[in-house]
A and B are shown apart, each in its own frame.
Chain A
């Protein structure tokens, strides 16, 4: 069954220069395996399309039931250089919650 990621996860996002980070946290421990399987760097990169010009990296924090995604070259130069409203990527976490995933 296909659902939005928001059914099984919550997120928080921020910035480091021109890189946006999105923490994706399982709403219940049993959802973590699904997040690992579905929220891959390749799919995240495709989902955001032209918004992310660089690579997507993923780090696992099984102790928190969470992954940390780094979206490189994603903030129009970042910090004070960026002309975007959301120069800090504060909304990227909420945006990712719209991604469709397959659940059992």
Chain B
């Protein structure tokens, strides 16, 4: 049995979580997931400004902080902290922790191969809209192939204490230690599916151990000290989800089921670079407090294509807010919204979309929201987006004047006018697997 813990569900997750996973009980592998769909484009911009950047900057100091304990307890780290510059990340880790052996997995970054792919007839159509990539070619900011567990396992096999990947899948981080330790083969579909589902359960950190859980949420103990999840994996593909003794939160079939359903599509066809997992084969059992056992998982062959994560510039947006107080807060906010729209129109400004929400009334629940006829205050929230940065910038000047020249009772303008942000949109596409060659490099 090996223990694999997830200490980071996204870049920006709780900084203390990985430290506590190392300190509060036994683990063999610490996996850290840093990349969301558009994180790569942010990192690409950072690399353009400074060629030594482009990776998750929280990661090297974390490894520096943990290095001594990782060595003492023989804990290996697997992380997709490399972003678009895994080699620079590795050097920063070595600077913070010179005693560790670091390996990088390269080959996912295809930004400089896009023209070659297009020239050879790969249209890389958007998997959601069907549009060919050529329509946004000049606006592409980053392009990476999702890579699976086998190159990460190869890096562990090369004796790495810390494995740094770029755009590996979230689930591969958890599957890789199993492939490495149990010598699973590339066609052990059922076992690979089991490890993939184990990865899906823990990839969002505490979201399977009590975080965001609806069932008895007020009774979940000590959420301030919530325990991040640990998978106890067996060579046959069965596993137990648990957390360190004495930590807060809860591991229960309710919390695990909620996470199993999170961001799921067709449950019989969960596609990864390593296999296709079938969530309808999961057998789940509460074994003891904070211990859920999982068996029976089946899977099928991996696809012949890999998914590309491409990001591109898609215009500009800004979102501004004002607060209107009782009485008639809703009516005041609606009147203010009409005034803003009239003024934008008279300025001749056009946008792809102007979107208004009344926060405190129905911003999230829309038509489904419970009635709230006379709320004490309402936040008016207006967003615009479009291709013209100047128009979006002009919009940001139109909210604060309403405090003096609009309906009565406006406040909440203390943050000043809103920022104009570039929209970095996500373009999922497919490429034949044979085009992507990964390689492992040990840096010490």
Interface residues, chain A, with chain B CB atoms under 8 Å away: 10-12, 14-18, 21, 23-25, 27, 47-51, 59-66, 68, 70, 76-77, 79-81, 83-86, 91, 93-96, 98
**Which residues on the A side are within 8 Å of B426 (C-beta)?**
17, 79-80
Query: In the complex, which residue of chain B has the Cβ closest to the Cβ of A99?
Result: B368
**Which residues on the B side are within 8 Å of A47 (C-beta)?**
368
**Which residues on the A side are within 8 Å of B74 (C-beta)?**
none
Picked from A23, A24, A50, A95, the residue with its CB within 8 Å of the CB of B260 is: A23
**Which residues on the B side are within 8 Å of A79 (C-beta)?**
37-38, 425-426
Evaluate contact between A62 and B214: CB separation under 8 angstroms. Answer: no
Q: Is B415 an interface residue (CB 8 A)?
A: no
Q: Using a CB-CB cutoff of 8 Å, which residues 350-405 of chain B contact chain A?
A: 353, 355, 357, 359, 363-370, 381, 383-385
Evaluate contact between A85 and B280: CB separation under 8 angstroms. Answer: no
Name which of A11, A51, A80 has the most chain B CB atoms within 10 A of its CB: A80
Picked from B280, B319, B367, the residue with its CB within 8 Å of the CB of A62 is: B280
**Which residues on the A side are within 8 Å of B261 (C-beta)?**
12, 21, 23-25, 61, 64, 66, 68
**Which residues on the B side are within 8 Å of A95 (C-beta)?**
364-366, 368-369
Query: A85 to B366, alpha carbons, bound, how many Å?
Result: 11
Picked from B254, B359, B428, the residue with its CB within 8 Å of the CB of A25 is: B254
**Which residues on the B side are within 8 Å of A61 (C-beta)?**
261, 267, 279-280
7 tightest Cβ-Cβ pairs between the two chains A and B: A23-B261, A83-B383, A83-B355, A12-B258, A14-B263, A91-B364, A10-B214
> What is the total of A-B residue contacts with beta carbons within 8 Å?
128
Picked from A16, A24, A50, A63, the residue with its CB within 8 Å of the CB of B280 is: A63
Evaluate contact between A85 and B267: CB separation under 8 angstroms. Answer: no
Evaluate contact between A49 and B282: CB separation under 8 angstroms. Answer: no
Evaluate contact between B381 and A85: CB separation under 8 angstroms. Answer: yes
Query: In the complex, which residue of chain B has the Cβ closest to the Cβ of A68?
Result: B264
Q: Is B215 an interface residue (CB 8 A)?
A: yes
Q: Is B304 an interface residue (CB 8 A)?
A: no
B side interface size, CB within 8 A: 49
Picked from A15, A25, A48, A49, the residue with its CB within 8 Å of the CB of B257 is: A25
Evaluate contact between A50 and B367: CB separation under 8 angstroms. Answer: yes
Query: A10 to B213, alpha carbons, bound, how many Å?
Result: 9
Picked from B214, B266, B383, the residue with its CB within 8 Å of the CB of A11 is: B214
Query: A18 to B127, alpha carbons, bound, how many Å?
Result: 12
A63 to chain B, nearest CB (A): 6
Chain B, interface SS category: mixed
Query: A76 to B370, alpha carbons, bound, how many Å?
Result: 22
Q: Is B289 an interface residue (CB 8 A)?
A: no
Could you list 13 A-B pairs, sorted by A, with CB under 8 Å?
Answer: A25-B258, A50-B367, A59-B268, A63-B284, A64-B257, A64-B260, A76-B355, A80-B423, A80-B425, A81-B314, A81-B425, A83-B353, A98-B370
A80 to chain B, nearest CB (A): 6
Picked from A66, A85, A96, the residue with its CB within 8 Å of the CB of B363 is: A85
**Which residues on the B side are within 8 Å of A68 (C-beta)?**
261, 264-265, 267
Evaluate contact between A49 and B364: CB separation under 8 angstroms. Answer: no
Picked from A11, A21, A65, the residue with its CB within 8 Å of the CB of B265 is: A21
Evaluate contact between B262 and A12: CB separation under 8 angstroms. Answer: yes
**Which residues on the B side are within 8 Å of A12 (C-beta)?**
212, 214, 258-259, 261-262
**Which residues on the B side are within 8 Å of A11 (C-beta)?**
214, 258
**Which residues on the B side are within 8 Å of A51 (C-beta)?**
366-368
Query: A5 to B365, alpha carbons, bound, how many Å?
Result: 16
**Which residues on the A side are within 8 Å of B282 (C-beta)?**
63-64
Query: A68 to B381, alpha carbons, bound, how many Å?
Result: 31
**Which residues on the A side are within 8 Å of B257 (C-beta)?**
23, 25, 64-66
Evaluate contact between A59 and B266: CB separation under 8 angstroms. Answer: yes
Query: A47 to B319, alpha carbons, bound, how many Å?
Result: 28
B184 to chain A, nearest CB (A): 23
Mark interface residues in B266-280 (1 if CB within 8 Å of A CB, else 0).
Answer: 111000000000011
**Which residues on the B side are within 8 Å of A15 (C-beta)?**
263
Query: A17 to B381, alpha carbons, bound, how many Å?
Result: 22
Answer whether A10 and B365 are a contact pair too, CB < 8 Å, given A15-B263, A61-B279, A80-B426.
no
Query: A79 to B265, alpha carbons, bound, how many Å?
Result: 17
Evaluate contact between B263 and A21: CB separation under 8 angstroms. Answer: yes
Mark interface residues in B207-224 (1 if CB within 8 Å of A CB, else 0).
Answer: 000001011000000000
Query: In the complex, which residue of chain B has the Cβ closest to the Cβ of A70?
Result: B265
